[in-house]
């Protein structure tokens, strides 16, 4: 796939990237290789990132205060008591530390609504850069601690290794919160152009169709969807989605998909009940040995099958992170010799078996085999994609982070 079209991110991440590379360099003396030494380096860099963000936000607020001083002089000269009082109150909020980037959107007086909107837009790139830097820093910190944990176990220092393991858990929690915050605060964005390469199906479910029940395919004029019992809903992950109430409700893809011995299937999934199995995607003709299935087995893991054209892929993978209430992003990257499954942008695992989706097409969304029999889907699906190539781990992560 092509390189990212956001090269400026390399500059934003440079400081954090270099800082976590330092964490990964083995200390000169063995006694320095400790949890405390890594924590000290990590916290120093984290404080520097936060201080840099605070300084930039303060500069914006200082400029806003100067603008308010000019407004106060104007209203005082005009004898406008009401507006003079409003401006004086706004200045006091800045001086008292009450008005910050975090609370900029809370209850602005009508007089300052447009000013606040400009400020909020000024803060966004600063906060986004901080999030990117912290995400890179935490990722490097976790990698460094994982290496340290391995060395401690080899040295027989089990108690110290357990302490490092606990710190890794805390860092992973913080990293997940950063990623969630990045998704919640992202402005709407265009679908990444490099991910349009080899895209077969892109159903956002937001586009109107001149034909009732026909779902437009933004990737091509072919392979449109056809609602077969599934119903459009306003409660998608992003805008509209499609709601399913089990078998036989589904979305059919009447036109045969292209033959593929490499592909990626991805979607946002919201199950009505975590415990039920859920059929996500199928492409089969009803005969054994000619199947392609992607399903969620209750709340425990994935089941995939792609045994067409002499291939043998058929297996399950347990979730490494729990299935969350609400929306989850799933992705299946199938190669000719192995398949990798992802949950919420993170690798769940790999099945080392050959897979193929060559021939015998009767594709549908919302039903599949879970390894024990055919199951439908109870819940809502959104942002369904199929590629005829294997996406990389980075591309799957960016797809997960994409917020239209």
Q: What is the pLDDT of residues 55-89, one digit of tens each?
A: 998 898 899 889 999 999 999 999 999 999 989 98
Task: Quote the mean pLDDT of the chain.
Answer: 84
Q: How many angstroms from the chain centroid is the CA of residue 234?
A: 21
The pLDDT score that the predictor gives to residue 362 is 81
pLDDT for the residue 13: 43
Cα 188 versus chain centre, distance? 14
Structure-block tokens of residue 358:
């060559």
Least confident segment among 22-26, 185-189, 311-315, 399-403: 22-26
- Between 404 and 365, where is the model more confident? 365
Distance, CA of 179 to CA of 361 (rounded, Å): 37
pLDDT recorded at residue 369: 76
Confidence of residue 317 (pLDDT cuts 50, 70, 90): very high
Please tell me whether residues 80 and 149 are part of one structural domain: yes
H helix runs in 246-330, sequence order: none
* 54 plus 155 within the same structural domain: yes
Residues 174 and 197 in one domain: no
Is 171 inside any structural domain? yes
**C-alpha–C-alpha distance, residues 251 and 226, integer Å:** 5
CATH number at residue 265: 2.60.120.200
Residues 128, 228, single domain; the answer is no
- Do the domain assignments include residue 244? yes
In a domain, 1, yes or no: no
Of 125, 155, 185, the position where a domain reaches its end is 185
Using the predicted structure, report yes or no on whether residue 311 has a pLDDT greater than 80: no
Q: Are residues 211 and 89 in the same domain?
A: no
166 pLDDT band, cuts 50/70/90, is very high
Residue 208 in tokens: 């109107």
The confidence score (pLDDT) of residue 345 equals: 92
pLDDT digits (tens, 9 = 90+) for 341-352: 999 999 999 999
Whether 2 is in a domain gets the answer no
Contact 51, 77 (CB under 8 A): no
Are residue 306 and residue 362 in the same domain, yes or no?
yes
**pLDDT at residue number 236:** 95
126 lies in the same domain as 251: no
End of a domain among 141, 161, 185? 185
Q: What is the pLDDT of residue 9?
A: 40
HSE (side-chain half, CA atoms, 13 Å) at 185: 19
pLDDT in tens, 87-118: 998 888 888 877 776 556 556 677 777 777 78
Interval 205-220: pLDDT, tens: 998 887 888 999 999 9
DSSP state of 236: S
Assigned domain for 51 exists: yes
What is the mean predicted confidence (pLDDT) over 302-312? 82
Average pLDDT over residues 157-178: 91
pLDDT in tens, 2-58: 333 333 344 444 444 444 554 554 444 444 578 999 999 999 999 999 999 889 988
* 313 vs 365, more confident: 365
Q: What is the mean pLDDT of residues 182-187?
A: 64
Q: What's the domain range around 51?
A: 8-185
Q: 164, 185, 206 — which closes off a domain?
A: 185
CB burial of residue 107 (10 Å; 0-12, 13-18, 19+): exposed
How high is the pLDDT of residue 233?
A: 96
Looking at the domain assignment, is residue 141 inside a domain?
A: yes
Q: Average pLDDT of 246-251?
A: 90
Within a domain: 222:
yes
| Same-domain pairing of 119 and 220 | no
What's the pLDDT at 189?
A: 64
Calculate the dihedral angle through the C-alpha atoms of 374, 390, 201, 360, rounding to the nearest 10 degrees. -50
Q: Is residue 295 part of a domain?
A: yes
pLDDT-above-70 percentage for the chain: 85
Same domain for 121 and 228? no
Residue 87 phi, psi (nearest 5): -65, -40
Q: How many distinct structural domains can be found in the chain? A: 2
> Are 316 and 202 members of one domain?
yes
* Tens digits of residue pLDDT in 4-15: 333 334 444 444
Please report the pLDDT score of residue 354 as a whole number. 84
Assess whether 263 and 127 both reside in one domain: no
Between the ranges 179-188, 230-239, 361-370, where is the mean pLDDT highest? 230-239
Q: Residue 220 has what pLDDT?
A: 92
Q: Are residues 211 and 118 in the same domain?
A: no
């Amino acid at each position: 796939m092509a390189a990212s079209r956001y090269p400026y991110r390399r500059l934003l991440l440079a400081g954090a990237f270099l800082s976590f590379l330092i964490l990964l360099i083995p200390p000169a003396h063995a006694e320095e290789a400790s949890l405390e030494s890594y924590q000290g380096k990590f916290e120093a860099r984290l404080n520097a990132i936060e201080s840099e963000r605070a300084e930039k936000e303060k500069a914006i607020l200082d400029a806003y205060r100067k603008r308010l001083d000019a407004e106060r002089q104007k209203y005082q000269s005009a004898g406008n008591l009401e507006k003079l009082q409003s401006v004086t109150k706004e200045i006091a909020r800045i001086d008292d530390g009450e008005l910050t980037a975090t609370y900029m959107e809370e209850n602005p007086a009508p007089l300052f609504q447009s000013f606040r909107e400009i400020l909020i837009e000024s803060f966004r790139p600063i906060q986004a850069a901080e999030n990117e830097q912290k995400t890179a820093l935490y990722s490097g910190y976790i990698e460094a601690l994982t290496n340290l944990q391995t060395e401690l176990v080899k040295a027989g220092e089990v108690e110290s290794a357990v302490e490092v393991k606990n710190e890794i858990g805390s860092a992973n929690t913080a990293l997940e919160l950063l990623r969630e915050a990045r998704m919640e605060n992202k402005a709407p964005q265009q679908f990444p152009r490099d991910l349009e390469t080899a895209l077969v199906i892109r159903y956002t479910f937001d586009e109107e169709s001149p034909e009732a029940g026909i779902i437009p395919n933004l990737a091509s004029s072919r392979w449109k969807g056809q609602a077969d019992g599934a119903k459009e809903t306003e409660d998608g992950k992003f805008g509209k989605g499609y709601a399913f109430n089990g078998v036989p409700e589904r979305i059919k893809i009447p036109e045969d998909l292209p033959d593929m011995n490499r592909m990626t299937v991805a979607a946002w999934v919201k199950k009505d009940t975590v415990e039920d199995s859920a059929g996500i995607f199928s492409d089969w003709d009803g005969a054994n040995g000619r199947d392609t299935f992607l399903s969620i087995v209750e709340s425990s893991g994935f089941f995939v099958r792609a045994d067409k054209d002499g291939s043998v892929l058929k297996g399950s993978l347990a979730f490494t992170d729990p299935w969350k209430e609400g929306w989850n992003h799933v992705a299946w990257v199938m190669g000719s010799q192995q398949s990798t499954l992802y949950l919420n942008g993170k690798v769940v695992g790999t099945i080392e078996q050959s897979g193929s989706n060559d021939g015998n097409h009767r594709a549908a969304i919302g039903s599949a085999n879970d390894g024990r029999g055919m199951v439908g889907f109870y819940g809502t699906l959104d942002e369904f994609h199929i590629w005829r190539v294997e996406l990389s781990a980075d591309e799957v992560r960016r797809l997960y982070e994409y917020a239209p």
